[in-house]
Amino acid sequence: MKNTSFRLRKAVRRDSAALLQLIRGIAEYEKMSDQVQNTRAAIVKNGFGRRPYFEALLGEIKKNGRWQAVSFALYFYTYSTFTGKPSLYLEDLFVEPAFRGSGIGKALFLRLAHIARQRGCGRMEWSVLNWNKPAIQFYVAHGATAMKGWTVYRLDEQALARLDAPA
């Protein structure tokens, strides 16, 4: 959908339902719907509570006189011991299929780059599924490079529980 007017804004507590809907949208796209355990309550607690663990931007279009969220970027900060600077970590960037090609994804990505620079980040990082060629092409077209020689590892909840169990 080309030539769609949109706006970007920082997500706030009342956006928890829209964020959850968009999270379900990216999970469906990534063929991981069965893995979504997130809830509105968790989003409120972890994004807008006393100690926020993430921030998010919403991309909205005007529909029937009201702004409707059709895209989001969820991010947080890590710290690089090598650069001595924070890094902006992009957890998810998603645009509903009907609005791809409208420029809203690029606008979100550029806004994140601006935020990273504004906050003194030495870099911006994210992971991409190997099969997601459109996303890889998008990121490479904007100057991103794959990290050669690095593989992502993960401890899930069960592994964490085993490691944290009394000996």
| C-alpha to C-alpha distances, 56 to 21, 89, 126, 149, 164, nearest whole angstrom | 14, 11, 15, 30, 31
Interatomic CA distance for residues 108 and 135, integer angstroms? 14
Task: Single out the catalytic residue among 79, 89, 139, 153.
Answer: 139
3-class secondary-structure state, position 153: coil
Catalytic residue at 139? Answer: yes
Q: Which residues pair with 8 in a beta bridge?
A: 59
Please identify every residue annotated as catalytic: 139
